[in-house]
Chains A and B, each alone.
Chain A
Amino acid sequence: MNTKISVYFLILFIFIAGCEEENNNSNNVNNVNNTNNINNVNNTNNNINNQQCEKIEPISDPTRLAVVLTDYTNGAVSEIDLTAEPYTISNDVVLIHSDAVPRYFGDKFYALNRYLGDSLTLIDDETWEVLDEILFVSGSNPQDIHMVDTCKGYVSLYAENYLQIIDVQGATSIGTVDLSAWGDEDGSCEPAYLTSDASYLYVAIQNLVDFAPTRNGRILKVDLATDEVAGEIVLNTGNPFYPLIKVPQTDMFVVLTAADFSTQGAAIETFQADDATATLVISSEELGGIPKQIVFTESECGYVLLSTASYETGIREFCLDGTAGSWLMEPGVQEPAAITLIDDELFIADNSSQTSQIIIYDLVTREFTQTVLNTSLPVSTTKPFVKLP
C-alpha cells in the first residue's frame, strides 16, 4: 500500500516538475509597437507620396470569379475559372474570417473582416497568399472598404462615428472623416457601405437603434480632395443596408434599403451627386420583399434578389421605372443567397439546406445551364462575388 502511494506521489512530483511554464511561451506579449496596428494614432503617416500608387481600373473582362463562403464560424474563398466552359471551381483557396466582405482593387484581393474580426486581410489573388493584416479598433466592426487608388482607402466602422482613411501600402492610418454630426439617440450613425465617383466618396448612413431605423437613411458625400463631408442626400426610406451599386453608363447610383427588416417600408432608391433627396423607385411591398442585391442586364433593368418576411429568398426582374417583372426564382422554392452578372450569364448562389452550390442562368437562352459548381460551405450573403482579372 505504502509503496503504491509513494509511486503515485513520485509520478505526481515528476509531472509537476515538468510543467510547462506559461510565461516562457509568451509571444510578443509586450510588443505594443506593432507597425501593423493602425489603432495607434501616433503611427499616422500622411506621407504616401513616395509610394507607387496607381489608379484602379475596372475589370472589363474577368477571367476568374472569387466567391466568399461561410458558415459564420469558418470563412473561405473559392475561385471559379471562367476561361473555359464548363466552369470549374477550386474551393477554399484561402481561409479567411467568417464574416468577411470581399473586394478587389487593382492589384490584390481584400477581405474586410467584420464583427469580431475588426481587421483587413490583404491577399495575393494569384497565389492566394496572405500578404498582410491590418487591425482596426477592437469592436469597431468594419463594414466596407473603398480604395481610391492602390494606396489610399476609406473604411467605414459600424461602431464608430468616423471613417478610417488608411494607407494600405504602409499599413497605417492617414486620417479620419468625422461623421459624429449624424449620430442618433444611441450616439452612433452606423456608417456602412461605400462607393465613389471622381469627386466624392458616398457613405450609406443607417441610423439604427435596436435594429430599427430612427429616421430616413442618408448618403453622405465626402469630398475626396479634402476628406470632409460635403453634403448629404436624404433617402425616402430607412436603413440603407446593402451595397451601393452604380447604374451602368450613367452617373446614377442605386441604394437598397431594409427599413426594420419586416418587409414594410424598404425600397430601391436612386441618387445622383447633386441630389438633395433620393428618388424612390419601388417599394418592398410592390417588390414582394426586401431588396438585397441587384444586377443590371440592360441600361435600367435587371434582376433583384429579395428576402421575404419569413426569410425566404427569391429573384425577380425589375426596372428603374418602378416596374417589377416576373420571378426567376419564387421565394421558398430554393434559397438564392447572392447574384452577379458575367457577360450574359447570371451566377446565382443557392444555399438551399441540402445543397450549397452556384448555378448559372443564361440570359440569352433564358434557361439554366447544366453547370453546377458545388461549394464547400454556403455562399456568404454579403456581396460575396468578386470579379478578378
Chain B
Amino acid sequence: MFYLICMLSCFTLANSAEKNEEENEEEIVVVGRKKKTAKLQVGSDNVVKTSEVIESGKTLSEELSSKPGITVRETGGIGQMSLIQIRGSNPSQAVIFLDGIPLSAGQGSSFNLSNLPLAGFSQIEIYKGAVPIEYGGSGPGGVLNLVPAPSGKNTWFTSYKLGSWSTNRISANVNSKSPFPWTASLDWVTSAGDYRYFTNGGTLYTQEDDKYANRINNYSRILRAFLSGKYSLVGGEIKVHGLYTFNLRGIPGPEAVVTENASYQSSRYLAIIRYNRTFRLFDFSGWFYNELLRDYYRDLFGEIGLGRQNDRKLVNKSGIKFKFRKSYKQHQFTLVPHFYSDLFLVEKMLMDLPLKKQRRYFASLGGQYDFSWRKFQFLAGYGFLKSTYQDWGGKGEKIHSWFFKLKYNLENFKFSTSVAKQYRLPSFLELFGDSGGIKGNSELSSENSLKGEISLSWKQKFLPWRLQIQGSLFKSRIENLIQFVPNSQFVAIADNIGKAGIWGVESYIKLARKKHFETRLGLTWLDHVNLSDISYQKGNKLPGRSDLSLYWKIKSRFKLGSFYLIPAYSLYYLQGGYFDSSERRPMPSKLIHRFSLNLQPFHRTFNLSFHFNNFIGKLKTTVTQTGQANSTSIAYPQSVSNYLGYPLPGRSFFINLAVKNFTIFSKLAN
C-alpha cells in the first residue's frame, strides 16, 4: 500500500515538474593541484559524492555496488564484513587511501568497508586501472582515495536514520572557515542485525531440520569521527587530519553453528600532517602520519573453529612521504619518496606468553612523467619498493611497479588506454596466522598483477536531455596469488600457489533530463579463470565472482507544493559464478530491488527519505552441488548468501532525516 500511495502521488505530480531547473553538469574530478595536471580518471562513475550518500541515507556498499566493475560482498548485516571486489579482483587487492596515505587493513588483508568514514569527506575517488604514482604501485585490484573536505564555508549537517533490525544512525558534520578552514564529523551506528534467515541445519539430505530463525549475535556498534583543518603557514599550507573509528560486532556462527558470545572489536587512530608549498622551481607536498589499529577478538567458549581465543592485536604504522612536482610547459615530473614501518603485536591473553612482535620497514621511490600535447595526454610512472623484515625469518623483497597511460580528449569524447604492473604485500594474518585455524607462512612473497584497459567515454547534450555512455575493456593476470590452502577442521595455511586471469567488459549509460529524470544502467561481464597448477582448480572459474552484474536505476523528481518528491527504483542483478574453486557449487542468480522516496523542500535544508531494500526479500534459494562432470548432484535449500554459511538479510526498511544549514543553527555554528 505504501508503494501504491507513492506511485499514485508520482503520477499526479508528474505534470508539475519544475521547468527552469538549472542544468547541473557532472563535476570533473581533478586529482592534484588546480594547475593543469594530468587526470587518470575517466568518467564521473568513478567518484562517490559522500554528502549525497549520507543525506540520502544510503550505505557506502549500496553506492559502490552501483558502479560498473565493482561488486560489494557482505557477510550480512550492518557493520559486518563488507568487502569490495573491483573488476573481479580479490578484496585484499583493493587499497584505501585517505588524502594519499594508505589505510592499513590491520592484521588481515581486506578492508572492511563498514569501517570507512563518510562524513567529513567531499568524495571518494575510484581508480580501477592505472593508479597515479603518488598512491604507490600497490592495489592491483584498484584504489579508493578519500578526499577530506574542509570546504572553507560555514556549513553544517546532521542526519538521523532508523529502521530494520533496530538500526539507528546519527551523523553530524560541521564546516567552518574561522579561525581557519576546518571540518569535524561524527557518525554513530548501532544495529541488532537480528534479521530472519534460513538454515538447512548443515544437513544436505535432510529437510526436517530446515527452518527460519532470527540471526543472533549479529549486532554492531560503529563510531566514526573525523577532524580536518588547513592553515596557511610559512608560505605554504598545512593540513591536519585526525580519524578515529570503532567497530564492536558480534560474530554469528557460519552455517548451522549458532554462537552467542564471540565478538570482534576494532579501533583505528590515524593522524596525518600534510604540508604543501609552491617553491620557485617545484611544488612540494610532505606527509607525516601515524596509524594505530587495535583488534580484539574474543571467542572464550570456542564457539567458532578450534579452541578458544582471546587475542589482542595491534598494528602501528608510521611513515613519511614527500611529493615533488615540476611543471615545464606541457611536461610534468613527479617524484614521490615514501618511508614507513609496520609493527605487529599479538597478545594471547589465554596463555601466559610474552608479546609476539614483528616489524617490517619499507622504502619506496616513485616517479611519474606526464606529457600533454593538444588533445593527447601521456603518463608514465615507475615505482620501486624495498621491504626489510625484522623479528622473524621472513624474506624482504624488492618490488617494481610501473604504468603507462595514453589519453585522448575531445569535447564530448574521451579515449584512454593503460597498462600497469602492481603488487600486494602479504598481510600479517597471511604471514603469521591467528590463534585459531589460520596458519601463517612467513616465507610468502608479494602478489603481482599485470593489467591493461581500454576505455571510451562519450557525452552528448540533446537539450534538455543529456546522454553519457562509457565502456571499458580490461584484462589482468595475477601471479603469486596468496591463497589459504584449507585442511580439516577449518585449518588453513597461506601459500603463493594461485594464478589467475581475468578479462571483462564494463559499460555505463546515463540518461538525464535536467534534475527531473535520470536513469542509469551499468553492466559488467567477467571472464575469470584459475590458472594455478592445482589439478582440480586449473581452468575453473575463480570462486566468489559473478559472470554478469547489472545495475539499473531510475529516478524522477516532482514538485509537491514547496517540496520536491523524488522516487527512485533500482535493480541489482548478479548471475553466474561459483562459490568454490572446484566448480561444484554454482552461485544462484541474485536479484535485488530497492525503492526509495525522498522528500525535500526547495531550499533543501532537509531531506526526508524512505528506503525499502530488497523488497522481494528472498531468504532461501535452491543450490545444486555437483560431482565430477555432474556425475552426481544434490539440490538442496540454502540461505541466500555471498559467502557460504553467512546468510544475507531479506527485506528491510529505513527512514532517514537529514537537516543542513538551517539558519539559526548556522549562526550558532559560526
Contact = CB atoms under 8 A, between A and B. Distances in A.
Interface of A: 1-2, 5-6, 8-9, 12-13, 15-16, 19-20, 22, 25-31, 34-37, 70-74, 76, 91-95, 97, 99, 113-119, 121, 130, 132-133, 135, 138-139, 141, 158-159, 185-186, 188, 208-211, 311, 353-356, 376-378, 380-382
A149 B637 CA distance: 34
The 4 closest A-B pairs by CB, nearest first: A92-B627, A72-B486, A376-B628, A73-B580
A210 B348 CA distance: 9
Interface of B: 3-4, 7, 10-11, 14-15, 196, 201-212, 253-259, 302-303, 305-309, 348, 350-351, 435, 486-490, 492-493, 497, 513, 517, 532-536, 554, 556, 569, 579-582, 584-585, 593, 595, 615-620, 625-628, 631-634, 637, 644-645, 650
Contact of B569 (A12, A20, A115): A12
B309 A210 contact: yes
Nearest to A133: B206
A92 B302 contact: no
A185 B581 CA distance: 39
B72 to A, nearest CB: 22
B619 A210 contact: no
A185 B308 CA distance: 10
A114 B256 CA distance: 12
Nearest to A31: B208
B586 to A, nearest CB: 12
Contacts of B618: 20, 22
Given A29-B211, A138-B256, A376-B627, A16 B350 contact: no
Contacts, number: 204
A343 B597 CA distance: 75
Given A19-B616, A73-B486, A118-B202, A138 B258 contact: yes
B534 A73 contact: no
8 contacts: A12-B595, A27-B211, A72-B487, A73-B585, A74-B584, A115-B490, A133-B203, A208-B306
Contacts of B617: 19, 22
A100 to B, nearest CB: 9
B257 A139 contact: yes
A114 B14 contact: no
Given A72-B488, A99-B489, A91 B631 contact: yes
B579 A73 contact: yes
Contacts of B258: 138-139
A67 to B, nearest CB: 14
B202 A117 contact: yes
Given A9-B11, A22-B619, A74-B584, A209 B308 contact: yes
Contacts of A92: 627-628, 631-632
A76 B207 contact: no
Nearest to B579: A73
B616 A354 contact: no
A135 B632 contact: no
A142 B643 CA distance: 24
B211 A353 contact: no
Contacts of B644: 73
Contacts of B556: 5
Contact of A12 (B3, B581, B619): B3
A12 B196 CA distance: 25
B520 to A, nearest CB: 14
B9 to A, nearest CB: 10
A364 to B, nearest CB: 30
Given A9-B11, A210-B351, A25 B620 contact: yes
B581 A73 contact: yes
